[in-house]
Amino acid sequence: MPPLVCPHWVGYSLIVPWRKWVHDPRKILGAHVREGMTVLEVGPGMGFFALPMARMVGERGKVVAVDVQETMLRSLEKRARSAGIADRIVTRVCQPRSLDVEDLAALVDFALLFAMVHEVPDVMALFRDVAVALKPGAACLVSEPRGHVTAERFAETLAIADAAGLAAIQTPKIAWSRSALLEKRAG
């Protein structure tokens, strides 16, 4: 049976203001996202991380937000327009088994996959697509909710990422989560 995708209405619970006390975007992403970067976020939902990242990359940067649910992206766009940063965010609807990001090959400086890998039916295809989009040596932060993803399953996820060319180089501590920083192998 394919994994369940987070319903649109649950998306609202992921953008509640108090979440930043648990998942402070600047603390989690500050070391990775800098001005002028092109960032890929897969499964951004309503943009809890995409909007802060759009502020972090500044006017010269870009956040490409790719989600399988158009309704999530429409809510993200609305929030980005209200915040005055819609011009830094590109939204794209993808297929469950393909991100359709071949045009971004080796153009992405950083990728974020937060609380979404466990919803994906083909994890190898996901990591292959992310690896293609990243520049050699660029990083990808993967974070999965502890409540949904066991330590064994997270280890399997990292093994699949490794086979796709993304090697785990750090295990950052993020509340309620199992997390790893991956790096695209050169060559």
Ligand X SMILES: C[S@@+](CC[C@H](N)C(=O)[O-])C[C@H]1O[C@@H](n2cnc3c(N)ncnc32)[C@H](O)[C@@H]1O
Composition of the chain by helix, strand, coil, percent to 5: 35, 25, 35
| Rounded Cα gap, residues 43 and 66, in angstroms | 6
Contact 65, 54 (CB under 8 A): no
Q: How far is the CB of 176 from ligand X (least distance, A)?
A: 11
Site string for ligand X, 96-115 (x = CB under 6 A): x-----------------xx
- If the CB atoms of residues 136 and 145 are measured against ligand X, the closer one turns out to be 145
Q: Which residues contact 163 (CB under 8 A, 6 or more apart)?
A: 124, 127
Q: How far is the CB of 75 from ligand X (least distance, A)?
A: 10
Q: How far is the CB of 7 from ligand X (least distance, A)?
A: 9
Residue 182 as a binder of ligand X (CB under 6 A): the answer is no
- If the CB atoms of residues 48 and 110 are measured against ligand X, the closer one turns out to be 48
| Rounded Cα gap, residues 52 and 50, in angstroms | 6
| Rounded Cα gap, residues 55 and 60, in angstroms | 10
Contact 162, 131 (CB under 8 A): no
Site string for ligand X, 37-76 (x = CB under 6 A): -----xxxx--x-----------------xxxx--x----
- If the CB atoms of residues 40 and 57 are measured against ligand X, the closer one turns out to be 40
Site residues (CB under 6 A) for ligand X? 5-6, 14, 42-45, 48, 66-69, 72, 94, 96, 114-116, 119-120
